[in-house]
């Protein structure tokens, strides 16, 4: 088994790259989208965790820049009906941490967003893989931004000073703007409009 691969990135095309080792051998490696996006420029040295998949129609090498990603790939392929391409699609669409959380939390909706996985297949994956994913360490999901924080950012993006945006959002919330970011922004803009007009 080829567990790791280090060398110079010499080619990249779509989801595949060529890494040439110091011994002069060039390996074609297929990667998930996230790894492709994090790759350095051609001509730079790279090091990847790899998984060699041997099938009757040929051998294929898949690469990952974190051991967790390779572990998720391996365990996804342990499910019936999941080959390397579908496992790669899951990692490309969800990333390793969200993929693990989706299996553990039975998040059928998230799994169904992956190309090639419908609702029934997502349900089957959860049943087959939930226990196999139990020991994988994942980062906690980032807490969603609060509606008020989102409203302040939106106003700042419109050119309002941070202090002005924060004050307008506080007034909008106090006036019963609710807990929807878009509604808070609308109410805040209504309160800012007279001030803006007066300054012109």
Domain ranges for the chain: 4-64, 73-129, 147-190
Residues recorded for the chain = 200
CATH for 4-64? 2.40.50.140
Q: Do strands 26-30 and 58-64 pair parallel, antiparallel, or not at all (unpaired)? A: parallel
In this structure, what DSSP letter does residue 31 have? -
Find all residues with CB under 8 Å of 83, minimum gap 6, and list them. 77
CATH superfamily of 73-129: 5' to 3' exonuclease, C-terminal subdomain (1.10.150.20)
148 pLDDT band (50/70/90 cuts)? Answer: confident
- At 86-129, the pLDDT tens digits run 999 999 999 999 999 999 999 999 999 998 999 999 999 999 99
Please answer whether residues 96 and 103 qualify as being in contact, where contact means their C-beta atoms are separated by less than 8 angstroms.
Answer: no
CATH for 147-190? 1.10.8
* Residue 181 predicted with pLDDT over 90: no
Q: How far apart are alpha carbons 178 and 144 in whole angstroms?
A: 17
In this structure, what DSSP letter does residue 142 have? P
Query: Who has greater pLDDT, 14 or 61?
Result: 61
Which of these ranges, 10-19, 102-111, 186-195, has the smallest mean pLDDT?
186-195
pTM for this one?
0.68
Please answer whether residues 114 and 91 qualify as being in contact, where contact means their C-beta atoms are separated by less than 8 angstroms.
Answer: no
CA angle, corner 177, sides to 176 and 183, nearest 5?
165
Q: How far apart are alpha carbons 88 and 53 in whole angstroms?
A: 12
Please answer whether residues 172 and 188 qualify as being in contact, where contact means their C-beta atoms are separated by less than 8 angstroms.
Answer: yes
User: CA-based Rg of the chain, rounded to a whole angstrom?
Assistant: 24
């Amino acid at each position: 088994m080829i567990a790791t691969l280090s060398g110079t990135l010499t080619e990249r095309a779509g989801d595949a790259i060529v890494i040439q080792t110091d011994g002069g051998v060039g390996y074609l490696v297929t990667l998930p989208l996230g790894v492709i996006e994090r790759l350095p420029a051609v001509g730079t040295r790279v090091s990847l965790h790899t998984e060699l998949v041997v099938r009757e129609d040929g051998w294929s090498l898949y690469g990952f820049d974190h051991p967790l990603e390779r572990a998720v790939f391996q365990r996804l392929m342990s499910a019936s009906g999941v080959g390397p391409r579908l496992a790669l699609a899951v990692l490309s669409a969800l990333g390793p941490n969200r993929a693990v959380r989706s299996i553990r939390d039975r998040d059928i909706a998230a799994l169904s967003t992956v190309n090639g996985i419908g609702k029934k297949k997502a349900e089957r994956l959860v049943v087959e893989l939930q226990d196999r994913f139990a020991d994988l360490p994942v980062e906690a999901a980032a807490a969603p931004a609060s509606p008020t924080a989102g409203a302040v950012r939106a106003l700042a993006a419109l050119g309002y000073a941070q202090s002005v945006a924060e004050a307008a959002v506080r007034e909008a919330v106090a006036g019963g703007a609710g807990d929807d970011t878009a509604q808070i922004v609308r109410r805040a803009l209504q309160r800012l409009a007279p001030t803006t007009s007066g300054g012109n």
